[in-house]
Amino acid sequence: MTDAVVPTEQVAGKSLWRDAWLRLRANRAAMTSLFLLVIIALACVFGPMLSPHPYDRVYQAYVKVPPSVSPRPSDAEVERALETALRRGGVEIEGAVVEGGVVQVTLTSEREIDPRVTRLIDRSDVFSEASVLSQSTDGRRLVLSAMVNQNRFLMGTDQNGRDLLTRILIGGRVSLTIGILATLVALAIGVTYGAISGYMGGRVDNMMMRIVDVLYSLPFMFFVIMLVVFFGRNFVLMFIAVGAIEWLDMARIVRGQTLSLKRREFVEAAQAMGVRTPAIIRRHIVPNTLGPVVVYMTLMVPKVILLESFLSFLGLGVQEPLTSWGVLISEGAKNIQGASWLLIYPSLFLAVTLFCLNFIGDGLRDALDPKDR
């Protein structure tokens, strides 16, 4: 007994989280998803700042223009825009020449042309800094020039003439924020509730879980719609409330974990040393339940994003001019005839995000699952 082999070399230990991270890194689907998700999140956070178009800027000249890489307007569009701009001016357009981002137009009329006609042109989104070059002596002929504003709409514009890409990114901000916010609320409530219920056991546990059961059996949609009715359009409040409903599963998971944890030696040791119950729950129970909780959390974010999109789809979510992926998709669904990009791009963003979150969740589950070791 005395000459038991003592390891001379220290074996480098691997913590649970480090081990999980290594396994996750080996999971190609999860890592690709993580990478994509980070890109989407960064784009949503910083994209709208970099975008030349504010998300609520309406370009009346460009309603429902299809996506394209080349800048607008094209030459044909310049003429159309001129016609639209001068419709009320009572003048005829004789010829327009576009050169190097400047358009030169000759206008004729039966009466004398008011040089203030430039204001009409400036009012259009397409032109700026219109100025009179020359006017014939009788005033019926006027040559003016104006800068042509070049605009790029990579994903086209919506039915009000707003840049779709910027709106998708802003919508992504809303959707992702909501997803994270509601999940954190659910996390806080669920973990606390579940840990207390599991740790206290007995009658307290029984009662607390019965409450969960009753809440479970109420139709979820009913709750959500009632919340919309209560909080009106106050979006943030509503999603805190949604988080406050979504905690049920979390509470069950944490309770199950706690039940097995509280019989473990380290908890008993803490009890024997006289650590008080709240401290035990905080220091010993909760940190050890985090594995499944983290997995469940990644799977809950897409659920909440979906819920938000669903509510927005029904018209109960974010209000104009702010937007979210659900709102954009529902507007796209109304415009599928003739403007299919309005449906396709937001759907693509939503689907890719949901995919990524699901893959990461699956990857995390595999990485944290001790059964698999």
Partner 1 sequence: MLRYVLRRLLGALPTLLVIVTVAFFLIRVAPGGPFNLERPLPPQIMENLLAYYQLDQPLWRQYFNYIGGLLTGDLGPSYVYRDFTVDQLLRQGLPVSIQLGGTALLLAIGVGTALGTFAALRQNRAGDVGVMTVAMVGITIPNFVMAPVLTLIFAIWLGWLPAGGWGEGALINKLLPVFTLALPQIAVIARLTRGSMIEVLRADHVRTARANGLPPRVVTLRALRGALLPVVSYLGPAAAALLTGSVVIETIFGIPGIGRYFVQGALNRDYTLVMGTVVTIALFIVVFNLLVDLLYAVLDPKVRYD
Residues that bind partner 1 (CB under 8 A): 214, 217-219, 221-222, 225-226, 229-230, 302, 306, 309-310, 313-314, 316, 326, 329-330, 332-333, 336-337, 340, 343-344, 347, 350-351, 354-355, 358-359
Measured from the CB atom, the residue of 221 and 279 that comes closer to partner 1 is 221
Measured from the CB atom, the residue of 68 and 340 that comes closer to partner 1 is 340
Measured from the CB atom, the residue of 15 and 337 that comes closer to partner 1 is 337
> Minimum CB separation from partner 1 for residue 330, in Å?
7
Q: Are 148 and 103 in contact (CB under 8 A)?
A: yes
Measured from the CB atom, the residue of 102 and 351 that comes closer to partner 1 is 351
> Minimum CB separation from partner 1 for residue 360, in Å?
12
* φ, ψ (nearest 5 deg) of residue 55: -70, -20
Measured from the CB atom, the residue of 21 and 223 that comes closer to partner 1 is 223
Separation CA 139–CA 64 (nearest Å):
38
Nearest Cα residue to 182 out of 59, 297, 99: 297
* φ, ψ (nearest 5 deg) of residue 335: -110, 20
Exposed, middle or buried: residue 250 (CB in 10 Å: 0-12, 13-18, 19+)? Answer: buried
Question: Is residue 136 classed as helix, strand or coil in its secondary structure?
Answer: coil
> Minimum CB separation from partner 1 for residue 362, in Å?
9
Nearest Cα residue to 331 out of 40, 317, 352, 353: 317
Question: Is residue 128 classed as helix, strand or coil in its secondary structure?
Answer: strand
> Minimum CB separation from partner 1 for residue 341, in Å?
11
> Minimum CB separation from partner 1 for residue 323, in Å?
15
Residue 36 structure tokens: 């994509």
Element (H, E) at 29: helix 28-50
End-to-end, the C-alpha distance of the chain in Å comes to: 32
Measured from the CB atom, the residue of 198 and 326 that comes closer to partner 1 is 326
> Minimum CB separation from partner 1 for residue 146, in Å?
39
